[in-house]
Amino acid sequence: MKRKKPTIHDVAAKAGVGLGTVSRVLNDHPAVRPETRARVLRAMEELGYAPNPHARRIAGGRSYTVSVLLPFVATEFYRRLVEGIEGVLLEQRYDLALFPILSLARLKRYLENTTLAYLTDGLILASYDLTERFEEGRLPTERPVVLVDAQNPRYDSVYLDNRLGGRLAGAYLARFPGPIFAITVEEEPDRAFSRTVFAERMAGFQEALKEAGRPFSPDRLYTTRHSQEGGRLALRHFLEKASPPLNVFAGADQVALGVLEEAVRLGLTPGRDVRVLGFDGHPFAEEVGLSTIAQPVEAMGARAAQLLLERMRGYQGPPREVRFEPVLVERASTGTPPAALYVP
């Protein structure tokens, strides 16, 4: 029986590191500790893993690099998303080039057709639909493009039904007595786009509350940046408007974590005095007992990478849509919901 050729996944598992670390070792990246590099190289040797990406690049006339344009890189959501993308592309010896948008000033650079982001073999757009910024609604490139965490009928799109997620949150918190507050996230680049995932979540949230007979007042919505500090500030603001018990829907787990921390600092009991529901389903949510609307971030990234690979290999079919659904995960931060629906 012919022995199966070892893969980059095998190397990562044997060395006890992530796929990104193996990729950095393969590309001789300086940001790898010597002991980690040695462990990865030893795993390659023991497995008989011998990639030859440079010969493949020369023979194919390609860069074997994929661009990923994303709002930020230093958040748990985008770390998980990139991990999902890398897991598929690195298996095929493709490298990733990350292009964080970060600000409106940097966004303008990515609206120029000469930017390096458009010169790789393919492009993945995360969260922002940049086509809104072009008159014809198309990106200035003939290379394959896939959107993830966003939708566009002209391109392959992999997305979460964020409106459904908001509706799940609204229907759930409507079951509890006490005023309902919400926290949405807005970063500087968000203002350049007509649709964002956070706006979709809040739209669904308010729809569900209205249907439950608990219409949401605009003065109970707090807008902040994607940070724990934003959650802490939001809770202080809410406590100026109402006394416990409060119900808080935070549009991101990171923000919800700040709400939990501030509640404890103020001597309040999460799940009783302050009920907190997040959105994302990050691993740390389980550790701190945070109820959340969970989304399969890594699976979304992996599916986007698969669609892009198919395009780069010649698939010419119509644009495809892959829709993921969020799920409610109940934990201690919201306590036990009443057996009967709360009627105000």
Residue 52 within any structural domain of the chain:
yes
List, for residues 249-301, the tens digit of each pLDDT value: 999 999 999 999 999 999 999 999 999 999 999 999 999 999 999 999 999 99
pLDDT at 341 over 80: no
Q: Could you say which DSSP state residue 118 is in?
A: G
Q: pLDDT over 70 for what percent of the chain? A: 89
List, for residues 78-110, the tens digit of each pLDDT value: 999 999 999 999 888 888 888 888 777 777 776
- Mean pLDDT across 309-337: 94
Q: For residue 114, what pLDDT band results from cuts at 50, 70 and 90? A: low
- Mean pLDDT across 53-63: 50
Domain identity same for 171 and 280: yes
Question: Rounded mean pLDDT of the chain?
Answer: 87
The CATH number assigned to the domain holding 304 equals: 3.40.50.2300
Domain identity same for 120 and 47: no
Strand (E) or helix (H) holding 196? none
pLDDT the model gives residue 87 = 92
Residue 207 within any structural domain of the chain:
yes
Examine the fold and report which residue of 295, 315, 334 is the final residue of a domain before the chain moves on: 295
pLDDT the model gives residue 179 = 96
pLDDT at 342 over 70: no
pLDDT the model gives residue 55 = 42
Q: For residue 33, what pLDDT band results from cuts at 50, 70 and 90? A: confident
pLDDT at 125 over 80: yes
**Cα 333 to Cα 246, 263, 301, distances in angstroms:** 12, 11, 29
Residues 6 or more apart whose CB falls under 8 angstroms from that of 310 comprise: none
Euclidean distance between CA atoms 19 and 11, whole angstroms = 8
Domain identity same for 39 and 79: no
Euclidean distance between CA atoms 143 and 229, whole angstroms = 40
Q: Could you tell me the residue range of the domain that residue 54 belongs to?
A: 8-60
271, two tokens: 């799940």
Which range has highest mean pLDDT (61-70, 104-113, 178-187)?
178-187
**Cα 149 to Cα 94, 129, 153, 157, distances in angstroms:** 21, 9, 14, 8
Q: For residue 155, what pLDDT band results from cuts at 50, 70 and 90? A: very high
Is 251:271 a contact under the CB 8 Å cutoff? no
| Residue 307 CB neighbour total at 10 angstroms | 26
Domain identity same for 224 and 119: no
Euclidean distance between CA atoms 10 and 121, whole angstroms = 26
Domain identity same for 168 and 282: yes
Residue 216 within any structural domain of the chain:
yes
Label residues 67-98 b or e (16+ Cβ within 10 Å = b).
bbbbbbeebbbbebbbbbbbbbbbeeebbbee
259 Rama class: left (phi>0) / alpha (psi -120 to 50) / beta: alpha
More confident position, 10 or 227: 227
pLDDT at 134 over 90: no
DSSP states along 217-234: PGGGEEEE-SSHHHHHHH
Domain identity same for 195 and 141: no
Is 152:136 a contact under the CB 8 Å cutoff? no
Residue 337 within any structural domain of the chain:
no
Domain identity same for 72 and 152: yes
List, for residues 156-174, the tens digit of each pLDDT value: 999 999 999 999 999 999 9
Residue 270 within any structural domain of the chain:
yes
Question: How much is the pTM?
Answer: 0.79
More confident position, 341 or 326: 326
pLDDT at 182 over 70: yes
Is 181:342 a contact under the CB 8 Å cutoff? no
Euclidean distance between CA atoms 237 and 181, whole angstroms = 10
pLDDT the model gives residue 22 = 79
Q: Domain tally for the chain?
A: 3
Q: Please give the angle made by the CA atoms of 270, 161 and 342, to the nearest 5 degrees.
A: 40
Domain identity same for 154 and 273: no
Domain identity same for 227 and 277: yes
The CATH number assigned to the domain holding 49 equals: 1.10.260.40
pLDDT the model gives residue 61 = 52
Residue 339 within any structural domain of the chain:
no
Q: At what angle do helices 162-173 and 197-211 cross, to 10 degrees?
A: 40
Domain identity same for 181 and 132: no
pLDDT at 37 over 90: no
Q: pLDDT over 90 for what percent of the chain? A: 58
Residue 193 within any structural domain of the chain:
yes
Domain identity same for 194 and 287: yes
Least confident of 51-55, 195-199, 210-214, 296-300: 51-55
pLDDT the model gives residue 54 = 43
Domain identity same for 186 and 290: yes
DSSP states along 49-110: ----HHHHHHHHTS--EEEEEES-SSSHHHHHHHHHHHHHHGGGT-EEEEEE--SHHHHHHT
Examine the fold and report which residue of 255, 279, 295 is the final residue of a domain before the chain moves on: 295
Residue 223 within any structural domain of the chain:
yes
Is 122:65 a contact under the CB 8 Å cutoff? no
